[in-house]
């Protein structure tokens, strides 16, 4: 009888061990990089690359690690050949590939931030918020981070013993500086002619171009040397609401023409700081146009660094325009 009981226990133990192995799904020999996210309106999305595909090679160079990516010598605007576990694709290289990568998992065990690395940010609203106001802030922060392209995102509200609200953001494998730039700024974007607002980020923005056809660094004279190194210009198109277009037409109709341009510029402000001023062509006088081209720039010691910084600046600006400003100020 004792042997039968022991045998029964052993069977149960073996059963649970087998089920545990199935759940963990160990893959000790897994290597390489897996595509975890495809950026919206990117060259990768248009090519049809899918999440979960394993990256095999780029321009016939085998890719097994992030170091292999760093060794690639790719020219901005060039067409690159990308081979994955599913198919072969051709993309336009814009300083980034249009997809995010992560090392292939060796099991289904989920690792916390302390194991895989990442960012944990605690935000404190500068005023007491109602439950509804907290939810609004959480929703907009999540949208802003999702638009920027982060993955493995956890965002939640927490309270201390005194009832003070805190917003906790955890992102595995993220860059701390990028996250802080996105969540610590209120992100109020305004386009003005003189003191009059033409359009703002969020509600006045109908679409923001993020594809190579209408965004990126100009192929001709996009980068140029400076005393400190290099500077690269970037641009992207935005489509605004008819109401904003009407304001533009009404304001520009009153302006004078000087050497082919109107006598006032379209000034772009972020959180009250002037970030760019755009000349307005004389043919836009009184125009109810709904499309504008936003311009910016990035600097670097090398041309590669300037390209990277310029594209990063463009991406942050696109994110703020799409998501709009935070409804309430927060401190980190």
Closest CA to 266 of 258, 256, 276: 276
Helix-, strand-, coil-residue percentages of the chain, each rounded to 5: 30, 35, 35
Q: Give residue 171's pLDDT.
A: 72
Instruction: Please work out, in degrees rounded to the nearest 5, the angle formed at the alpha carbon of residue 124 by the alpha carbons of 122 and 128.
Output: 150
Whether CATH 2.30.42.10 fits 33-103? yes
Question: What confidence score (pLDDT) does residue 223 get?
Answer: 93
3-state secondary structure of 114: helix
CATH class for the region spanning 113-184:
alpha beta
DSSP letters of 73-113? ---TT-EEEEEESS-EEEEE-SSS-SEEEEEPPSSSPPP-H
Long-range contacts of 90-95 (CB under 8 A, 24+ apart): 90/47, 91/43, 91/44, 91/47, 92/43, 92/212, 94/43, 94/212, 94/216, 94/217, 94/311, 95/216, 95/217, 95/307, 95/308, 95/310, 95/311
Q: Which residues lie below 8 Å from residue 258, measured CB to CB, with a gap of 6+?
A: none
Please state the separation of Cα 327 from the chain's center in Å. 20
- How far apart CA 112 and CA 126 sit, in angstroms, is 29
Which residues does residue 205 pair with via DSSP β-bridges, in sequence order? 240
Residues 33, 61: contact at Cβ < 8 Å?
no
Give the model's pLDDT for residue 241. Answer: 92
Distance CA 38, CA 101 (A): 9
CB 49 within 8 A of CB 35: yes
pLDDT tens digits for the chain (332 residues)?
Answer: 455 444 666 665 665 555 554 544 455 545 678 888 888 778 888 888 988 888 899 999 888 887 787 677 777 677 889 999 898 998 887 767 888 887 765 554 444 444 345 667 777 777 777 777 777 777 777 776 776 666 667 777 877 667 777 777 777 666 667 677 667 667 778 889 999 999 888 788 888 888 888 889 988 888 999 998 999 989 889 898 999 999 999 999 999 998 888 899 988 887 788 878 888 888 889 999 898 888 888 899 999 999 998 988 888 888 777 777 666 566 76
The model carries a pTM of 0.52
287 with 214: CB under 8 angstroms?
no
Instruction: List phi, psi (to 5°) of 95.
Output: 90, -15
Q: In the chain, where are the structural domains located?
A: 33-103, 113-184, 189-327
Q: Kindly state the tokens that stand for 152.
A: 């493995």
Whole-angstrom distance, CA of residue 178 vs CA of residue 157: 21
pLDDT at 42: 80
């Amino acid at each position: 009888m004792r042997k039968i009981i022991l045998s029964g226990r052993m069977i149960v133990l073996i059963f649970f061990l087998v089920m545990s192995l199935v759940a963990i799904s160990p893959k000790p020999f897994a290597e390489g990089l897996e595509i975890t996210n495809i950026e919206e309106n990117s060259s990768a999305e248009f090519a049809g690359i899918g999440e979960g595909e394993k990256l095999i090679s780029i321009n016939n160079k085998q890719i097994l690690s992030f170091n292999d990516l760093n060794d690639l010598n790719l020219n901005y605007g060039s067409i690159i050949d990308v081979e994955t576990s599913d198919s072969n694709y051709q993309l336009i290289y814009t300083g980034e590939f249009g997809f995010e990568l992560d090392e292939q998992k060796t099991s289904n065990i989920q690792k916390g931030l302390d194991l895989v690395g990442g960012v944990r940010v605690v935000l404190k609203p500068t005023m007491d918020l109602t439950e509804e106001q907290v939810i609004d802030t959480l929703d907009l922060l999540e949208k802003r981070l999702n638009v920027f392209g982060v993955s493995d995102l956890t965002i939640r509200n927490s309270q201390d013993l005194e009832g003070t609200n805190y917003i906790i953001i955890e992102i595995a494998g993220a860059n701390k500086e990028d996250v802080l730039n996105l969540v610590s700024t209120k992100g109020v974007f305004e386009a003005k002619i003189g003191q009059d607002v033409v359009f703002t980020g969020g509600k006045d923005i109908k679409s923001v171009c993020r594809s190579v056809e209408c965004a990126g660094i100009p192929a001709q004279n996009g980068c140029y040397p400076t005393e400190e190194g290099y500077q690269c210009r970037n641009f992207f198109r935005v489509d605004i609401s008819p109401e904003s277009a009407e304001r533009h037409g009404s304001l520009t109709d009153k302006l004078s023409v000087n050497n082919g341009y109107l006598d006032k510029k379209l000034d772009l402000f972020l959180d009250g700081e002037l970030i760019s001023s755009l000349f307005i062509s004389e043919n836009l006088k009184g125009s109810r146009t709904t499309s504008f081209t936003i311009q910016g720039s990035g600097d670097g010691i090398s041309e590669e660094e300037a390209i990277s910084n310029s594209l990063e600046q463009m991406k942050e600006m696109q994110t703020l325009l799409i998501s709009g400003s935070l409804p309430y100020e927060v401190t980190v």
